[in-house]
Amino acid sequence: MSELPEGWTGVALGLLTQPSRPRRTPQNFPNLPFVGMEQIEAHTRKLLGTVPSAVMRSTAFHFLKGDVLYGRLRPYLNKVYCANFEGLCSSEFIVLPESAAFSSKYLLYYLNTESFVEFANQLNQGDRPRVSFDQISSHVIPLPPLNEQRRIVAKLEKLLSRVDAVQERLAKIPRILKRFRQSVLAAACSGKLTADWREANQCIEPAHNLLERLDEERKKRIKIENRKSKSERERFIKKPNYLNYSISDCIESEDLPPTWIRVPVGFLCDCIVPGRDKPKSFSGSIPWITLPDITDIEIWNSSSGLGLSETEIEAVRARVIPTNSVVMSCIGRFGISAIVKKPIVVNQQLHAFLQSDAILPHYLAYHIQTLTQYMQVLATSTTIAYLNKDNCNSLPISVPPISEQQEIVRRVEALFKTADAIEARYRAAKVHVDKLTQAILARAFRGELVPTEAELARLEGRDYEPAAVLLERIRQERDTDDSRRQSRRQKLAAPPSLPY
């Protein structure tokens, strides 16, 4: 505080104000609004609403207009509000009455500074850590003259309202980008995204022809494998899941282009369902993948670094998901998918579709992301929604010719690249704007935001009252009032004089 501007002084919070508001029973004051922790938005000093006092059961603090409500329960030390009405508040607030020495909003803004929040965060008390007023009362606050406090508050409200407006506009960008990506995928998987491409490429073989040919080739391969002896067959040979479907399951629909067809994904791809047993150890290099590991359209490794060895895989009867398979979520959260870029093992949250000549892995992964609502309706739910193997394999996929799938993937990735670039700029802007509030507050409480009262007084040729003089005058007035009250109490307590 030795570098404070002229006319300023450093004063402990406890010397500025004391929390003296009484407790009240909310039911006895049903007409007063009640403010709880959840009614104040963190970091913003904004009140989100109030609750009728009559519905509250526990006792509460009474506050008046102009009082500052300071949230004392960690991690809510950034919840501070300056009341513009009379009401009741949760006992998790410290109510700081306004004083002749300071502007309530000046105190409000100071309690939001990074330096004060960090100071309060270091204080702990009880099982649910709380900050007491005794703990924070020793914190020294830079205090300018009263007129300067008011000018600082006016300037802060003007600047921070602009910051708030920018933050509100920035907050809309992630939602806009999410809707944009969803719209791109919806257009891609309905044929709208490549309508012009089809006009220029009308000689492309329809998808139905490819699927008929693929179906015949797969059946022939299975017959050849079944003629082999057990020792000659490929490892893990079994009846592929796609044999449970037939070409008759393909549906031509009026809402699709003529060269497209809708078909259950189980007809397009064989699948791998994870085993029920969880590994007891993770000592290998084959990544163990769970749902939180899927953060992009491609998956390479486990974010936890866990991996299995061949021995561990055999012990839990798991199967390795090969490269270019597509995995999707089948429990809890739906519509999450990714392409496997190296062999992995998955847990029961994921269902895997193996690579197929009928559909590109990237197209399938993108298409699955458009089926979230369909899967939510289809899901079975006990304690948590899930899709069983049959439900996973029954998902309807709109299949274009392979060459059109390639064009769709190219266009989707180009549009997503643009969205990613906008998102990167948004994140950089958000970091900058998020720092603006604290930067502005820091300047305000260093005396750099508005001309000081001392500077204005010299320019205008007048006197001013420094903050230290103001505090001393208030202290003397308080001492005089206390002396008068004590004198009156002594007179009332003295026995009456008797006449002689």
Backbone φ and ψ for 368, nearest 5 degrees, come out as: -60, -35
**Given a cut of 70, is residue 136 above it in pLDDT?**
yes
Q: Which of 240-244, 339-343, 445-449 shows the lowest per-residue confidence on average (mean pLDDT)?
A: 240-244
How many angstroms separate the first and last alpha carbons of the chain? Answer: 64
Q: How many CB atoms lie within 10 A of CB 389?
A: 13
Backbone φ and ψ for 52, nearest 5 degrees, come out as: -60, 135
Question: What's residue 372's pLDDT?
Answer: 95
Tell me what percent of the residues of the chain surpass a pLDDT of 90: 63
Would you say residue 415 lies in a domain? no
* Residue with token string 């806009």: 176
Backbone φ and ψ for 478, nearest 5 degrees, come out as: -65, -40
Overall average pLDDT of the 42-68 stretch: 87
- Domains: count for the chain: 2
User: Which pLDDT tens digit goes with each residue over 374-403?
Assistant: 999 999 877 789 999 999 999 999 999 999
Question: What's residue 238's pLDDT?
Answer: 65
Question: What's residue 171's pLDDT?
Answer: 93
Q: Which of 41-50, 177-186, 237-246 shows the lowest per-residue confidence on average (mean pLDDT)?
A: 237-246
Overall average pLDDT of the 183-212 stretch: 95
Q: With a threshold of 0.85, does the pTM exceed it?
A: no
Q: Indicate the residue type of 45.
A: R
* Pair (376, 478) in one structural domain: no
Tokens of 299: 């998956």
Backbone φ and ψ for 353, nearest 5 degrees, come out as: -110, 125
More confident residue, 24 or 124: 24
Sorting pLDDT into bands at 50, 70 and 90, what band is 435? very high
**Given a cut of 80, is residue 237 above it in pLDDT?**
no
Overall average pLDDT of the 33-53 stretch: 88
How far, in whole angstroms, is CA 222 from its chain's centroid? 50
Q: Indicate the residue type of 209.
A: N
Q: Indicate the residue type of 479.
A: D
What Å distances lie between residue 482 and 15, 96, 487, 489, CA to CA?
16, 21, 9, 11
Would you say residue 176 lies in a domain? no
Query: What is the rounded distance in angstroms from the CA atom of residue 339 to the CA atom of residue 307?
Result: 18
* Pair (230, 369) in one structural domain: yes
Question: What's residue 491's pLDDT?
Answer: 58
Would you say residue 30 lies in a domain? yes
Would you say residue 409 lies in a domain? no
More confident residue, 440 or 493: 440
Residue ending a domain, choose from 357, 376, 400: 400
Burial of 484 (0-12, 13-18, 19+ CB in 10 A): exposed
**Given a cut of 70, is residue 496 above it in pLDDT?**
no
Overall average pLDDT of the 33-59 stretch: 86
Burial of 295 (0-12, 13-18, 19+ CB in 10 A): exposed
* Pair (209, 78) in one structural domain: no
> In this structure, are residues 282 and 307 in contact, taking their beta carbons and an 8 Å threshold?
yes
Overall average pLDDT of the 214-237 stretch: 73
Domain membership of residue 381 as a residue range: 205-400
Long-range CB contact pairs, 444-447, < 8 A, 24+: 444/109, 444/152, 444/155, 444/156, 445/110, 445/113, 445/142, 446/5, 446/142, 447/4, 447/5, 447/8, 447/142, 447/144
Vertex 218 angle, CA 212 and 221, to 5°: 145
Sorting pLDDT into bands at 50, 70 and 90, what band is 243? confident
CATH of the domain at 66: 3.90.220.20
Question: What's residue 480's pLDDT?
Answer: 67
Overall average pLDDT of the 193-201 stretch: 96
Would you say residue 500 lies in a domain? no
Would you say residue 367 lies in a domain? yes
Q: Which of 41-50, 141-150, 451-460 shows the lowest per-residue confidence on average (mean pLDDT)?
A: 41-50
User: Which pLDDT tens digit goes with each residue over 436-488?
Assistant: 999 999 999 999 999 999 999 999 999 999 999 999 888 887 766 556 556 66
